[in-house]
Amino acid sequence: MTLVGTTPQNTTPPPRLPVRERSAAREAGGGLSPMLTRLAAERATGVLEREAGALYLAEGRVVHAESPLAPGLDVLLLTHGTLDGASWQQALDRADADHGALRLLLDADRIPRGALEVCHLGALYDAAYFALAPSSTPGRFRYGAGHPFGGLRPVAVGALERETLRRRELLDRLWPDPLADGAPLMRAEAFAAPAPTARQRAVLALVDGVRTASDIARELGRQAFHTLVDVRRLAAAGLLTALFPPPPPAPQPHLPPGAPGAPGGAGTAGAAGAPPAANPPPGASLPRVNDPDITLLKRLRDALEAL
């Protein structure tokens, strides 16, 4: 008879699998813009122009921000009737270096101070989120430059950077694919998807394959970041997807005049020299921009990477 020995079971639990720390980018002092940190330390006044927006400083604190990716303060004030257009335009016309448009609105009792401060701070944080995004070009600071809006409640640079990092991490937890933030959006068929909220239905109603999240935010008169939250939740639910940008056109070889394929040469169509439209070969299929199988696999991959 052969005796088979058994190894005593080890009661020590196995080590935990390593998990990526998504907040590793959080450094002392924020670290989003070393130039902005230095300007805050020297209590500078002026405007820091970055690739995706601008931050206006007064004595080292941020008093206003703007970005082409975020609706401006005027959109937030006028879209929902918080302020009438005539009062806004009058304040802009009278604004100068000593009296900004926001201060003039308060002095004329056109809007309650609390409502204006809430709108202004919301627009400031919204635009700063995009202005502080990673940039491929260096920033430029112009000393002494101001904004006609003026400022009401300045924000410390450290607080602004912490809030920007918090927003990045929130979006990453909702859906770790940033493609939907800037690409055109289109609706997708989802099975057993949760019913969208009223806010999300308003976003879906404007999804047409052309508009981006920023376009939708501007039409709705909402902050762009709040719209990104809705967009990422809808993407996670499979209710919308982002259109991939088309590939850049291939460079055309330089041909001498009169050569086949050159303007005016043989093989060209019409007097304008436009090449004839190329038809796909028989049996070839055009690429599917938003294949549902690819979208599902992409969502599974992102969910596994987020573990």
pLDDT in tens, 187-229: 998 888 889 999 999 999 999 999 999 999 999 999 999 999 9
Cβ neighbours around 71 below 10 Å, total: 23
CA distance between the termini of the chain: 49
Residues 53, 133, single domain; the answer is yes
Residue ending a domain, among 118, 151, 173, is 173
- How much is the pLDDT for 255? 58
- How much is the pLDDT for 97? 81
Q: 269-291 pLDDT, tens per residue?
A: 444 444 444 444 444 433 444 45
Residues 168, 39, single domain; the answer is yes
Range 300-305 average pLDDT: 62
Residues 160, 58, single domain; the answer is yes
Residue ending a domain, among 173, 196, 221, is 173
How many angstroms separate the CA atoms of 180 and 97, rounded?
39
- How much is the pLDDT for 29? 43
Residues 79, 158, single domain; the answer is yes
Confidence band for 26, pLDDT divided at 50, 70 and 90: very low
Which of 137-141, 148-152, 215-219, 273-277 has the least mean pLDDT?
273-277
Q: What residue numbers bound the domain in which 183 lies?
A: 175-244+291-305
Residues 179, 82, single domain; the answer is no
Half-sphere exposure of 132 (CA within 13 A, CB side): 30
Q: Which residues pair with 50 in a beta bridge?
A: 53
Residue with tokens 């809007």: 111
Q: Does 97 or 230 have the greater pLDDT score? A: 230
Range 78-107 average pLDDT: 92
Confidence band for 71, pLDDT divided at 50, 70 and 90: very high
Which candidate, 99, 101, 81, 107, places its Cα nearest to that of 89? 101
Number of compact structural domains in the chain = 2
Cβ neighbours around 258 below 10 Å, total: 10
Residues 156, 62, single domain; the answer is yes
Q: Does 266 or 307 have the greater pLDDT score? A: 307
How many angstroms separate the CA atoms of 60 and 34, rounded?
13
Confidence band for 258, pLDDT divided at 50, 70 and 90: low
Q: Does 37 or 97 have the greater pLDDT score? A: 37
Q: 231-257 pLDDT, tens per residue?
A: 999 999 999 999 876 566 666 666 555
The verdict on residue 7 lying in a domain is: no
Residues 34, 168, single domain; the answer is yes
Residues 52, 96, single domain; the answer is yes
Residue ending a domain, among 173, 195, 211, is 173
Range 108-115 average pLDDT: 93
The verdict on residue 283 lying in a domain is: no
Confidence band for 80, pLDDT divided at 50, 70 and 90: confident
Residues 188, 101, single domain; the answer is no
